[in-house]
Structure 1
Amino acid sequence: MERENFYGEKHSRDDDRYLIIGFDTEYKTPDGELTPQDIKDGSGKYKVISYQFHCSIYDPGQPDAVEWSGICYPEGNDRLSLADLLTFAFHQGIATGAVSKLPNKVYLAGHFTRADFPAFKDFQTISKLIGSVRATFLSIDNHILLQYWFPDDGPVKIEVVLRDTMLLTPATSKSLRALGDLVGVPKVVLDDDPVLEKHYKENMDQLLADRPELFEDYAITDAIICVRYLDQLIRQCDDILGRRKVPATLTGIGVDLLMQTWKAADLDPLEMIGKEEVVVSYFNKRLGRHEKRPVDVNIREVDWHIPLATECYHGGRNEQFWFGPAFEDNWTDFDLTGAYPTAMALIGMADWRSAYVSLDLDQFTHRTLGIANVEFEFPEHVKYPTMPVRTNNGLVFPRTGISDCAAPEIALARSLGATLKIRHGVIIPTNLEKPVFADFISQCIMKRKSFAKGSLQNLFWKELSNSSYGKTAQGLHQKRVYDLRDREMKPLPPSKITNPFFAAYITSFVRSALGEVMNALPSEVCVFSCTTDGFLTNATQAQIDAASTGPIAGLYRQSRQMLTGEPDMLEIKHVVRKPLGWRTRGQATLIEGRDDQGPHEKIVLAKGGIYTPEYLEDQRELNAKILGMFLDRKPDDVIPLKIKTGIRDIIEWDADLVDKHVSKRLNMEFDWKRMPQAVWQDDTIDHVAFSTRPWESIDQFFKVREIWDSFAVATPRCIKTVDDYRALATYIFAQSALSAGGGQYLKKDSPDIKRLRQMLCIAWRKSAAGITRKFDGHTSQSFADLLTSIGIPCKRSDVENARKPFVPHICPATPAVMAALDLLKIHVPSLEVDLFLSANTAIDILAATQENNPYRSIEGTEKILEVAA
C-alpha cells in the first residue's frame, strides 16, 4: 500500500493499524509541607486513587475507530505496573467485543507524563527505556517492548511508544483544558464554585467518596482528550509527511517537514546545513570485529569556523532602560511581527565550501551570512548601542568593547556612526535568489491562514513556523539535561538542523531590527524596556512609522511581503499609562491603559522570574501582587515557593510528582546592565526612579556588579529612595577609584568621608600632607571639632587612635570629599590636597543625583519634573 505526502511523494504503508491509549491517574498528595530533605528521605510519594484509560484503534480499512474506556482502583497502597494497566486495557477491549486483534504498535499518551508515569510500580525499571525532554517523560529513540498473550494467537510482542501531549501542543494551549477545547472535548468541571473546584482537585479521594460518577467522568475525560489530540496529530503527520508517526515534540514535526521541503526541491538536507556523510570504522564489541557505519559531520571548511560561529550566537535583547516608576504618558508595547521566521526567510542557500576569512567591513552587510570578532566604539549620542557582549548576567550593550556578532549588527553599527575594526571575520557566500527556509515558512503561513483563527490546525501551523528557529540553535550553548539511562546530567544534543551560522544570523537580524528602530526615534522619546522581539515606549505611532524606514526595516518588510503578502513589521501588544520596571524582564503596571487607546491589553506584566501564588490567575490580581512586593520589599524578603519535584528527584529519590516547599530571596533591584543617568524621587508612589545610558565599557559593568554584590551582602539595602541610591553610588565611586587592595577596608556607610577622616587624623598625628601637629595650638579634641565643623564627623578617640603610617592617594575624590577638603584648606592653607586623593578614574554614578546633573535633559525627565511639580 502506498500513500502520498504533503509534496506528492509516495511512501509504502505496510501496516497502518495502531492503538492509542490515553492514560491518566488520580492521586492524593501528602498532607503538610515537604522539604527537599523529606523528598530525599523517601516521603515524596502520593497515594494512587485510580488508573484510567481510553483506547482507540485506527485501521485504514475501517471507516470508524474502535474505542473503549476503563478505570481501575488499586487496593490500599498497591500500585499497578505498566504491564498490568495495558493488560487490563487489552483484556477489557477483547472481553467487551470491541476488538479481537490488537495492533503491534501502541501509542501510550498522557498529558504531562511527569505527573502520572511514576505511578506505575515498575517505573524505576521502565524509566531506563524512556527519556526526558523539557522536564517530562517520553520515548525518544527507543520503545518499551511488552509481550501479551492472546487467546487465539498466543504471545505477541507489542511496541509501546510513550508520548506526552504537552510537548505536542501549541504554545498557547499547554493546559489540558485548552487542549480539550481544541479537540471538542471540554474538560469536566467539578463544581461551579471555583473554591470547591480547587478543593476537589487537591482532594480527589473526597470527590470519589462524595460523587463517584463525576469522579469517573472527570478522570476518563482526561484520557479521552489525550487520545483525540494525538489522533488528530497523527492524521496531520500523515497528511504532511506521508507517515503515521508522531515525533517526540511539535518542533520535531516542523524539522521533518522542513527536510521534506528540501528533498522535494532536489536539495540535500545535509548540504543545506553544512554537513556531509562519511563512513567511519568502529569496533563492535558484541561481534568482536571492526565494522563501518555512516555518520554526519561538518563540512571541513565549515568545521574550521564553528567555535567562532557558536560564540556569535546570542539570544534576544533583554534590557531595562528605566528603574522604578516612569512618568504618566501613553506607553505602547510594540512587537516585531513573526520575528524569527521573518529573519530565517532572508537566509540564502550557502556555498559552505567557499567560506573565507575577511576583515573588510564593506563585505558584512545586512544580508551577509557572516560572523566576526569586532572592536567597536559608538558615538556618545547613541542611546542604545547595538553590539552584544555576552556575560554571565546576559547580554550587555556597552558603548565600547569587543563583540562576537553576526553581519547584521556590524552593518547597523556602521550606520549609527560606530568605529569598527574586525579582528577576525568569516563569510559564507550565499545565493539570495534561493532562500533556504522561505518556502517552508511560507507554506506554514499559508496553511495556517487557511484555517479559522484559534483552531487546532491554525495553531498547529503557527507553531511549526515559529518554533523551527529554535532547532537551528539547539545544543550550541551548553544546556544540560538529565539522562534517564545513565542517571546523570548530559549536554543537550544538537537537532537535525542545528547550525551556528544560521542561529547567529537570525538572532542578530532580530536584535538589529529593534536596535535600528529604537535609535531612530527622536531624542525626546523614551524607551522603557526591551524584551527579545519588542519594546515598550512612549513614542507615538507616527514616530514609530518614521523610525521604521531604515535598511533593516526595509528588509524586514520585504521578507514579510514574501511570506504573507503584507509588509507589516510592528504590532501593538499592550498600552498602559504608567509602567514600573526593576530589572530585565521585570515590569508591572502602575496605571492601566485607557479604553480609548484601542483594543489592546491594558496591563504590562513581566514577573522577571518571581513566583506568585498559584491561586492568582487574574492579570489584575497578579499585577497588584507584584506591585505590592516591589513597593514593600525589604532586603531580607524571601518568597515561599511550592514547586513540583523534578526529573532528578523522581529518579534518584524514587519520588512522585508532589509539591516541594522551598524559599528564594526576593530580588527586585536593578541589574546594572546600564548606567544610571538621572535620579529622582517619584512623589506619587514615593519611590526612587532613574533613567539610564550605556556603560562606557564592559569592565565598568563587571566592576559595578562586583561592588553591588559586596554592598548588598555587607549592608543589606533596597534602593527605594534617593538617599539609598546615593549611599550605593558613593560606595561604587569610592571602591572604583581605589587601586587594587585600596578598598579592602573601606566602610560601607559613608566610605569616602570615613576614609578621609582616617587620613586626616593620621596626617595630623604624623605632621604629614601639610598639616603640622598641634597647629595653632590645636589639641586632639579641637582638631576633631574642626573636622566635625566642616562635615567630617569626628571624635577625640578617632584622632588619638590614628597610629598607622600616612599612606597617600587612597581617598576617592567624591564630591563630598572635595567639598570637605576645600573647607579644610581655608583653616589649613598649607594642606596638600592632592596627597589625599586617588588618581584613578572612578565610576561616577553620583553625578546623576546632583542638582547640576548634566543629564537632566534626557528622555522624559522634563516631563517627570513637570508632573512632580
Structure 2
Amino acid sequence: MLAEVLNRIPRQHVVVSATTDGFLTSAPREHIDLTGPLSRRYQRLCWWALPGSDMLEVKHGAEQVVCMKTRGQLTARPMAGQEIVVAKAGVQPTVRITKQMTPEQIRRAQNDELLQMYLHRTPGSTVVLKAFPSLRDQWEKGVDLIKASNNVRMSLEFDLKRRLVDARELVVLGWNTTHVAASTQPWATVAEFELARARLDQLRAPPRKKRAPARADAPLNAEVEGFCIKTVDDVARLEQEIGRGRARGAARAQGRPVLNMGRDGLRGMLKRAFLRVYTRNEMGLVRKYTYTQMAQWFTDFGLATTTQEVKTARTQPVVLASVPRAGPVMELLRELEILFPEADLRPLLVSLDEAEDSPYGDGGARGGGGDDDEPADDDEEGDPN
C-alpha cells in the first residue's frame, strides 16, 4: 500500500524517507492520490475501525529538513502551526531540561543540539551512547538493568542504500552554513551496493594509534584522516573510490594489472598511463615535446610532475583499460586530445560497456592487484600510488 501511494506522488515533489507507518514528502496532503485499489481497501478498513477517520494525517511539518543516515531527519527551519520533524537515528543528544519546558520545547532543544552536532561533525566526532546491558551480561555477570554511558564514534553518514545523484551544496536556513544535498536512485545490483558500502567503510575507517607508513596505494590517506560526506568534493572523492574499487575488482577477475591511485587522484592515474604510451610513441602519439616540456604542461594543469618522472615512465609497463571514466579524468583527456589530435587515448580508459555498469558512471573495470601491479610505478619524485 505504501509503495502505491509513493508511486502516485507527482514527480515535482520530493520523498525524503518512508517507514512502515508514514513518510516524509514535500507534497501537500491534497496532492497525494489515494484512489489506488490498495489505498481504497485500506481506507475502508480505517472507516471500519474508526468511522469518519482518514488513512493519512499530517503529523509534522518543516520549511527545511536536514537528513542524516537513512531515517534520521532534523528541522532546520520550522513550519508555522506544525510540530517539528525530529528523528534522531539512535543518537541521544544531551540537553538541559527544566520543569517549565513543554514536550515540544524539549523536542526543539534536542533537535537544535543534534543539528549542531551533525552540521559541525568531523571524522573523529563522538557521541554518548546510553544502553542497557545485554541479556547475557545480566544473566552471566549479574549486571543490574541500568543504562551505561559510552563514548562512541558518530555514525550519521548516509549509508548508501541508494545511489547518490545530482549532488549539490545548499544553505542550511538559520544556521549560517552549507551542507551537501543529493537525490537518490536505486542501485542496479546488490553487488554495486556492497562495493559502494565497502569503499565508504574504508574511507571512514578510524585512525590507528600505531601503524606502519601508508602503503603507496592507500586511498588518499583515508585511514589517517577519516571521512565525512559534507561537501560536493566529499561526494566526488567517494565516487573516485567506488570507481577505483570496481576497476580493481574486475581486473583481478581477468588477471590484468592496473595503476594505483595516489594523492593526485584519478587525474594522476590518467597522467601516468598517458606518459607510458607517450614515451613509447604508441597509440598514434608522436613525441613532439621534450620530457621537460611535458612535465611543465602537467604541472601547469595542476598535476605536479618532474622531468625525471616523465623519463622514468618509459621503463614502466603500459596498462590499458584501467582509468575510470570520472569527470576529472574526462576533463584531462579532452585537454590531451587537443594537444595530440592525432592520438587515440580511449584505450587507456575502462571500456564503455563496463563504464555503463559503474555505480556512478565513472567507469568500472580494471583493477588489478597482485604483484604485477607495477609496484614501483610511482615512487619516483615523491608521487606515491
TM-score after normalising by structure 2:
0.76
Q: Could you tell me how far apart the structure 1 residues matched to 2:304 and 2:258 are?
A: 22
Give secondary structure in 2 for the equivalent of 1:609: coil
Does the 8 A contact of 2:29 with 2:58 survive in 1?
no
Give secondary structure in 1 for the equivalent of 2:61: strand
Q: CA offsets, 1:229-278, max 9 Å, x none? A: xxxxxxxxxxxxxxxxxxxxxxxxxxxxxxxxxxxxxxxxxxxxxxxxxx
Match of 1:786 in 2: 297
- Counterparts of 1:732-747 in structure 2, within 5 Å, are 732-737=242-247, 739-741=250-252, 746-747=260-261
Q: Could you tell me how far apart the structure 1 residues matched to 2:117 and 2:148 are?
A: 23
Q: Could you tell me how far apart the structure 2 residues matched to 1:804 and 1:786 are?
A: 21
The yes-or-no answer on 1:588 pairing with 2:74 is yes
Match of 1:810 in 2: 322
Match of 1:607 in 2: 88
Amino acid at match of 2:6: M
Q: Tell me by how many angstroms 1:833 deviates.
A: 0.9
- Counterparts of 1:372-411 in structure 2, within 5 Å, are none
Residue 719 to residue 609, structure 1, CA distance change in 2 (3 Å): same
Q: CA offsets, 1:773-828, max 9 Å, x none? A: xx23513x222112234454422343244332112111112232222222222333
Amino acid at match of 1:752: L
The yes-or-no answer on 1:844 pairing with 2:360 is yes
Match of 2:143 in 1: 655
Does the 8 A contact of 2:164 with 2:183 survive in 1?
yes
Match of 1:551 in 2: 37
- Counterparts of 1:665-676 in structure 2, within 5 Å, are 665-676=153-164
Match of 1:796 among 307, 323, 328: 307
Q: Could you tell me how far apart the structure 2 residues matched to 1:743 and 1:573 are?
A: 56
Q: CA offsets, 1:483-516, max 9 Å, x none? A: xxxxxxxxxxxxxxxxxxxxxxxxxxxxxx1111
Unaligned runs of 5+ in 2: 98-102, 206-218, 364-385
Residue 606 to residue 735, structure 1, CA distance change in 2 (3 Å): same
Q: Could you tell me how far apart the structure 2 residues matched to 1:710 and 1:694 are?
A: 22
Match of 1:570 in 2: 56
Match of 1:115 in 2: none
Q: Could you tell me how far apart the structure 1 residues matched to 2:310 and 2:89 are?
A: 49
Residue 605 to residue 823, structure 1, CA distance change in 2 (3 Å): same
Give secondary structure in 2 for the equivalent of 1:555: helix
Give secondary structure in 2 for the equivalent of 1:757: helix
The yes-or-no answer on 1:699 pairing with 2:191 is yes
Q: Could you tell me how far apart the structure 2 residues matched to 1:759 and 1:589 are?
A: 48
Match of 1:834 among 315, 328, 346: 346
- Counterparts of 1:614-693 in structure 2, within 5 Å, are 618-658=106-146, 660-684=148-172, 685-693=177-185
Moved over 4 A (4+): 614-617, 742-745
Give secondary structure in 2 for the equivalent of 1:641: strand
Residue 567 to residue 607, structure 1, CA distance change in 2 (3 Å): closer
Amino acid at match of 2:154: L
Q: Tell me by how many angstroms 1:526 deviates.
A: 1.4
CA RMSD of aligned residues (A): 2.7
Give percent identity, aligned residues only.
29
Q: Could you tell me how far apart the structure 2 residues matched to 1:541 and 1:717 are?
A: 38
Q: Tell me by how many angstroms 1:680 deviates.
A: 1.6
- How many residues were matched structurally? 325
Q: Could you tell me how far apart the structure 2 residues matched to 1:740 and 1:677 are?
A: 26
Amino acid at match of 1:680: R
Q: Could you tell me how far apart the structure 2 residues matched to 1:562 and 1:656 are?
A: 46
Q: CA offsets, 1:405-454, max 9 Å, x none? A: xxxxxxxxxxxxxxxxxxxxxxxxxxxxxxxxxxxxxxxxxxxxxxxxxx
Does the 8 A contact of 1:792 with 1:820 survive in 2?
no
Does the 8 A contact of 1:558 with 1:567 survive in 2?
no
Q: Tell me by how many angstroms 1:677 deviates.
A: 2.7
Q: Tell me by how many angstroms 1:736 deviates.
A: 3.0
Q: Tell me by how many angstroms 1:751 deviates.
A: 2.9
Q: Could you tell me how far apart the structure 2 residues matched to 1:745 and 1:796 are?
A: 20
Match of 2:8 among 498, 515, 520: 520
Does the 8 A contact of 1:688 with 1:720 survive in 2?
yes
Amino acid at match of 2:307: R
Q: Tell me by how many angstroms 1:553 deviates.
A: 0.5
Residue 656 to residue 619, structure 1, CA distance change in 2 (3 Å): same
Does the 8 A contact of 1:737 with 1:813 survive in 2?
no
Amino acid at match of 2:320: P
Residue 555 to residue 603, structure 1, CA distance change in 2 (3 Å): same
Amino acid at match of 1:638: T
Q: CA offsets, 1:724-783, max 9 Å, x none? A: 2222223323433552347976436453112112212222344433335xx23513x222
Residue 818 to residue 575, structure 1, CA distance change in 2 (3 Å): closer
Give secondary structure in 1 for the equivalent of 2:57: strand
Residue 591 to residue 614, structure 1, CA distance change in 2 (3 Å): closer
Q: Could you tell me how far apart the structure 2 residues matched to 1:576 and 1:755 are?
A: 45
Amino acid at match of 1:812: P
Does the 8 A contact of 1:522 with 1:543 survive in 2?
yes
Q: Could you tell me how far apart the structure 2 residues matched to 1:727 and 1:575 are?
A: 34
- Counterparts of 1:391-540 in structure 2, within 5 Å, are 513-540=1-28
Q: Tell me by how many angstroms 1:608 deviates.
A: 0.9
Give secondary structure in 2 for the equivalent of 1:682: strand
Amino acid at match of 1:692: T
Based on CA coordinates, which of the two structures has the bigger radius of gyration?
1
TM-score after normalising by structure 1:
0.35
Q: Tell me by how many angstroms 1:659 deviates.
A: 5.1
